[in-house]
Amino acid sequence: MRVSRMSAPLGAYVDGVELQSVSHAEVEALKALFLDHHVLVFRGQSLTPEDQMAFAEHWGQLMPFPYGALPNYPNIVPLKNRGKAKDVNQHWHSDMTYSPTPPKLTMLYALEAPELGGETAFANQILAYEALSPGMQALAGRLVARHSAKDLARLYGQNPDEASEALHPVVRTHEESGSKALYVCAAFTRNFVDWHRNDSKALLDFLFEHSVRPEFQARHRWQAGDLVMWDNRCLLHYAVHDHGDDPRLLHRLQVEGVVPQ
């Protein structure tokens, strides 16, 4: 196993591992690397949906997605290039924060990748929290925010009144590392508990902008055969749609998490 860093804020490339036949010792080493780097990239893999699911299950129970899963594979969602106007992931977010138990990690496997563009950007929310002033850390640490899937449900033609909503702390403590991370995102965070939306807006807008400062970020440029996994408990991510109509097909799955604390 050979490990090289992606960037200073986050991420690592892992070479010399065949994910369809990964050993117990390799899995334990990868779990430690995952906590340290938050994003792991494995290049040159050749995986079936069953292979991808089997590898992900080393991290926990797989999590079905309510919209657009593959036939016969309710845990895998195909992410295709349907054009920029129809791309619903062009925003900074952590996956499914509107769930009471959001996924602990997301894993994407690339079947097709554009020659240029189509990168995924990540932002380290542990660094974002640590960069806040002590006073702002104290204030954010006392707040709870409402996260909602109503807008997402409308995009998929679902009834927004039946969409999931959840309340989560604005500062989340990672249950494995103990690190504190900012836990808000413009895609799903609506307001603070006991605050009106208008009252919440100014502080939320500041936190949204602060959370994705360039010095917290890294990007991954996709190649076919890449498997990328990241920690939703302490990262935001953004699908950059700058590849026009070039094909891009990724298989996404997620591993169940716990109630954020």
Asked if residue 54 lies in contact with residue 20, where contact means CB atoms within 8 angstroms, the answer is yes
Residue 244 — very low, low, confident or very high, per pLDDT cuts 50/70/90?
Answer: confident
pTM here?
0.93
Angle at 251 between CA 248 and CA 242, to 5 degrees: 25
Give the residue-averaged pLDDT of 205-228: 97
Q: Facing residues of 110 across strands?
A: 250
Q: Average model confidence (pLDDT) for the chain? A: 93
pLDDT value at 189 more than 90: yes
Q: Which residues are catalytic?
A: 93, 95, 237, 252
* Domains (range + CATH), the chain: 2-255 (3.60.130.10)
Spatial CA neighbour of 102 closest among 172, 55, 160, 159? 172
- Residues 139-169 have pLDDT tens digits of 999 999 999 988 777 777 778 787 889 999 9
pLDDT value at 200 more than 80: yes
